[in-house]
């Protein structure tokens, strides 16, 4: 049984800089990997001499977890065919490099001299694709090709620009990006961001307000769930990014209390006994939730692991 467990076992490691080589033991946090992996070097204000910034969420932590999940799921799929498990290794630095696919491609094809740099809100290669001032804030407008760009210009009452050589094609618009922005903002200053959203989105112009968390919550409640926790109380959290036609996503498995699952795993799943857990708890090796042993065995019994 142990042998069968061993050959079917899938296990996964997440190292900061990979588990081999000179950086194997190096420690890091999300932001340090943003720094080491090039992400910060491409994020920040466009003006020369301004300091770049970190991404405002723990993006490398999140994506490293996603890569670990993908790796384990792929290994499960392989096991369903082969019958055997395997080891999956992931690296947070490799995850960061993967996220940088577009800047890396631009560097690769743009020549060694071309280095992706921060460009504020703007896209490095397409216009109009930027944040634009409105009467009361900023509207992000993004276009991907000439016909979309012309559609956006017409929707703003700037249809006459589409025929001008400075604004007809994307290379021309990139060369005259500041002038295009000035003309668009002259129009956009006449209405609020919300008014423009109501007008431009139905017209097919890809655009959005720059929502803060409160605005996101108000405008898109469908992407949130509330999770109850016995000590922290109710908390707002992001809902599942995927839905399955044959399964509901379960939000009741909240974050556990410290040690809450220790006995379930050690006694129930791995077969250690009460005396072993008592010794380990006294020695400080484990945090087991119940303070006395009767509680511990009683709780384990209630869960069917007695």
Name which of residues 35 to 54 contact a copy of itself (CB under 8 A): 35-45, 50-54
Figure out which of the listed residues 240, 254, 260, 279 binds a copy of itself, where binding follows CB under 8 A.
Answer: 240
For residues 131 and 268, which CB has a smaller minimum distance to a copy of itself in the complex? 131
The C-alpha atoms of residue 197 and residue 141 are separated, in whole angstroms, by 10
Q: Does 218 bind a copy of itself (CB under 8 A)?
A: no
Clarify whether 250 is annotated catalytic. Answer: no
Cβ neighbour number for residue 153 with a 10 Å cutoff: 23
The C-alpha atoms of residue 88 and residue 70 are separated, in whole angstroms, by 10
- Per CB under 8 A, which region of 1-9, 102-110, 177-185, 288-296 contacts a copy of itself? 102-110
Report the nearest approach of a copy of itself to the CB of residue 23 (Å). 8
**Both structure tokens of 12:** 């996964």
Figure out which of the listed residues 125, 147, 186, 224 binds a copy of itself, where binding follows CB under 8 A.
Answer: 224
| Phi and psi at residue 215, to the nearest 5° | -70, -40
Q: Does 297 bind a copy of itself (CB under 8 A)?
A: no
Report the nearest approach of a copy of itself to the CB of residue 31 (Å). 5
Q: Does 258 bind a copy of itself (CB under 8 A)?
A: no
Angle at 113 between CA 107 and CA 114, to 5 degrees: 40
Looking at residues 78 to 97 of the shown chain, list those that interact with a copy of itself (rule: CB under 8 A).
78, 80, 82, 84, 86-91, 93-95, 97
Query: Which three-class secondary structure state does DSSP give residue 22?
Result: coil
Q: Does 145 bind a copy of itself (CB under 8 A)?
A: no
Count of residues near a copy of itself by CB under 8 A: 120
Q: Does 222 bind a copy of itself (CB under 8 A)?
A: yes
Q: Does 249 bind a copy of itself (CB under 8 A)?
A: no
Of 61, 119, 146, 264, the catalytic one is 61
Q: Does 66 bind a copy of itself (CB under 8 A)?
A: yes
Q: Let me know: does 153 contact 145? Beta carbons within 8 Å.
A: no
Q: Greatest CA separation found in the chain?
A: 84
CA dihedral 190, 193, 199, 205 (to 10 degrees): 110
Residue 230: name the closest of 262, 250, 255 by CA: 255
Looking at residues 116 to 135 of the shown chain, list those that interact with a copy of itself (rule: CB under 8 A).
116-123, 129, 131
- Long-range CB pairs of 301-304 (<8 Å, 24+ gap) are 303/264, 303/268, 304/268
Instruction: Report how far Cα 214 is from the mean position of its chain's Cα atoms.
Output: 19
Figure out which of the listed residues 9, 164, 189, 232 binds a copy of itself, where binding follows CB under 8 A.
Answer: 232
Looking at residues 170 to 189 of the shown chain, list those that interact with a copy of itself (rule: CB under 8 A).
none
Residues known to be catalytic: 61
């Amino acid at each position: 049984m142990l042998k069968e467990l061993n050959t079917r076992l899938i296990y996964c490691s997440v190292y900061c800089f990979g588990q081999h080589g000179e950086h194997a033991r190096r420690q890091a946090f999300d932001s340090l990997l943003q720094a080491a992996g090039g992400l910060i070097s491409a994020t920040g204000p466009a003006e020369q001499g301004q300091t770049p910034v970190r991404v405002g969420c723990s993006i490398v932590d999140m994506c490293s977890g996603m890569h670990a999940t993908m790796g384990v799921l792929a290994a499960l799929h392989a096991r369903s065919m082969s019958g055997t498990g395997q080891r999956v290794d992931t690296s947070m630095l490799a995850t960061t490099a993967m996220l940088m696919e577009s800047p890396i491609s631009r560097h690769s094809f743009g020549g060694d001299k071309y280095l992706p740099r921060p460009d504020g809100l703007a896209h490095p290669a397409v216009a109009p694709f930027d944040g634009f001032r409105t009467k009361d804030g900023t509207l992000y407008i993004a276009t991907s090709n000439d016909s979309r760009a012309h559609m956006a210009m017409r929707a703003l009452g700037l249809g006459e620009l589409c025929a001008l050589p400075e604004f007809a094609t994307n290379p021309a618009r990139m060369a005259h990006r500041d002038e295009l922005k000035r003309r668009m903002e002259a129009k956009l200053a006449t209405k609020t961001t919300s008014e423009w959203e109501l007008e431009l989105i139905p017209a097919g112009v890809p655009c959005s307000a720059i929502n803060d968390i409160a605005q996101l919550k108000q405008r898109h409640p469908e992407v949130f769930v509330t999770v109850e926790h016995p000590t922290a109380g109710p908390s707002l959290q992001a809902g599942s990014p995927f839905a399955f036609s044959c399964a509901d996503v379960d939000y009741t498995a909240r974050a556990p209390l410290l040690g809450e699952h220790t006995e379930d795993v050690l006694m129930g799943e791995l077969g250690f006994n009460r005396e072993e857990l008592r010794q380990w708890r006294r020695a400080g090796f484990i945090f087991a939730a119940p303070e006395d042993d009767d509680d511990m065995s009683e709780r384990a019994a209630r869960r069917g692991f007695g």
